[in-house]
Copies of this chain bind each other. A is one copy, B any other.
């Protein structure tokens, strides 16, 4: 059994090497892979360690589900508890080197929280655009980290448009998923880590939640790069999971027509993946088809059950969207798309973290235009 964070101790020789070592203990972070990241030479300036998250064997969950080769890639161990921290770090690292002082993104929640905290750590301003139905707990986290939050009544797509227009107009860093390819570059490091943590093996199946799409597409890109470097000869089957009330890519994968009336992002507990128009949906479908994977939809009941099972059998806390991979695995096993002896990795990303209080109303504004954004940012 080999897993980052565990194998270490299992195989480590004892002795008191650390007492004599002149080197500080080495941390495992995503910068391990910097040669394959768009980051120039020189010291990393981003001040929070990111990535290097554990691949957990989850013995009790394996027994309970009869899947002896099941692993959990626990992305909740990142600073704001999701893989969005990777994208935030790489985008900000580039901005720090260019002297940019403000970062912007639109987000259904976790990317915004990651951006707010990452900007705070790096001494940058953050301008976050959300739809007016963004959960208040997430808003509170954003303002706690000092971000400016702009609520956009016309919804998530309009929030993306306004964020991107602001980035272009004011010279801000544009961290928008789908718009900034650097986010994919950062998230692909999850594939590198899984491969190394499995002892330089590719899993048979990797299950991941799908909202806008970058998480799954970046995994595919990571495995493709391992292949192009001659390190692997095959790729895992990727299984993408969406919530039943808002499953545009599951429907598209099945070849079913889908219109706005078929999708209700507000009708699921998995707000983090409830996206009506996925930013890079076609790339998701390509990646899933290429590897012989699948798209599956799961009910809210299954999502809640997955949250409870992850906590009670693996000791991993996750929000419903974060636990979607476990719910999706159940569906995929049912559909006989996953064999019980296969090596399966679940990407768990997103956890219920709160600010312990409400959002600071002075940092939140409803806006429609760039002028309103500019005035609010100038106001402090």
Bitwise, A295-311 to B at CB < 8 A (1) or not (0) is 00000000010011001
Q: How far is the CA of A49 from the CA of B52 in the complex (A)?
A: 11
Q: Which residues of B contact A319 (CB under 8 A)?
A: 356
Q: Is the CB of A56 within 8 A of B60?
A: no
Q: Is the CB of A24 within 8 A of B54?
A: no
Query: Contacts A18-B32, A28-B25, A196-B25 known; A6 to B47 CB distance under 8 Å?
Result: yes
Q: How far is the CA of A139 from the CA of B44 in the complex (A)?
A: 40
Bitwise, A87-130 to B at CB < 8 A (1) or not (0) is 00000000000000000000000000000011111110000000
Q: Is the CB of B18 within 8 A of A33?
A: yes
> Does A312 reach chain B (CB closer than 8 Å)?
yes
Q: How far is the CA of A59 from the CA of B44 in the complex (A)?
A: 14
> Does A180 reach chain B (CB closer than 8 Å)?
no
Q: How far is the CA of A58 from the CA of B31 in the complex (A)?
A: 19
Q: How far is the CA of A278 from the CA of B67 in the complex (A)?
A: 45
Q: Is the CB of A26 within 8 A of B26?
A: yes
Q: Is the CB of B120 within 8 A of A313?
A: yes
Q: How far is the CA of A118 from the CA of B311 in the complex (A)?
A: 10
Q: How far is the CA of A339 from the CA of B126 in the complex (A)?
A: 33
User: Of A9-17, A236-244, A250-258, A283-291, which binds chain B?
Assistant: A9-17
> Does A315 reach chain B (CB closer than 8 Å)?
yes
> Does A178 reach chain B (CB closer than 8 Å)?
no
> Does A80 reach chain B (CB closer than 8 Å)?
yes
A231 CB, nearest partner CB in chain B, Å: 6
Q: How far is the CA of A63 from the CA of B232 in the complex (A)?
A: 47
Q: How far is the CA of A57 from the CA of B123 in the complex (A)?
A: 12
Q: Is the CB of A121 within 8 A of B314?
A: yes
Pick the 4 closest A-B CB pairs, nearest first.
A121-B315, A5-B49, A146-B312, A5-B27
Q: Taking beta carbons and an 8 Å cutoff, which residues of A are in contact with B?
A: 2-10, 12, 14-16, 18-19, 22, 24-29, 31-35, 41, 43-44, 47-49, 52, 54, 56-60, 63, 77, 79-80, 117-123, 141, 144-146, 192-193, 196-197, 199-200, 229, 231, 304, 307-308, 311-317, 319-320, 351-357
